[in-house]
Amino acid sequence: NAGVTQTPKFQVLKTGQSMTLQCAQDMNHNSMYWYRQDPGMGLRLIYYSASEGTTDKGEVPNGYNVSRLNKREFSLRLESAAPSQTSVYFCASSEVRGQGHGYTFGSGTRLTVV
């Protein structure tokens, strides 16, 4: 089925470890986004990519890096994980920025940092 695929679904890291969250979409969308969801906080934007080859910071970028590998794939990297990064991470994509299209979300990665 068409959509946004995130891997892994679950991950436990030790403080200081690094990892990359993968995201791929097969809808030919131009824009892609990474959000984190914490209890009572809604979703907060970490990074986004308006189009292939561009990335920009969102509301909470500290401690993260991203790569827009191609039009389909947008990865999120934690270089040195901290307990404050324990969260559920969602990747999303949308058709065209500024045209008022809804986002398509992946099913999320539940990350625990101990």
- Where on the chain is the footprint of another protein (CB under 8 A)? 4, 31, 33, 35, 40-45, 48, 50, 58-59, 90, 92, 94, 96-108
Rounded to a whole number of angstroms, the minimum distance from the CB of residue 30 to another protein is 9
Q: Which amino acid is at 66?
A: V
Query: Closer to another protein at the Cβ: 35 or 74?
Result: 35
Query: Closer to another protein at the Cβ: 65 or 105?
Result: 105
Rounded to a whole number of angstroms, the minimum distance from the CB of residue 40 to another protein is 6
Work out the number of other CB atoms within 10 angstroms of the CB of residue 54.
Answer: 11
Query: Closer to another protein at the Cβ: 75 or 104?
Result: 104
Residue 67 is inside which H or E element, if any? Answer: strand 64-68
Cα–Cα nearest to 7, from 22, 24, 29 = 22
Say how far apart CA 11 and CA 17 lie, in whole Å. 12
**19: CB partners within 8 A, 6+ apart:** 11, 13, 77, 78, 81, 111
Query: Closer to another protein at the Cβ: 19 or 88?
Result: 88
Rounded to a whole number of angstroms, the minimum distance from the CB of residue 97 to another protein is 3
Rounded to a whole number of angstroms, the minimum distance from the CB of residue 78 to another protein is 20
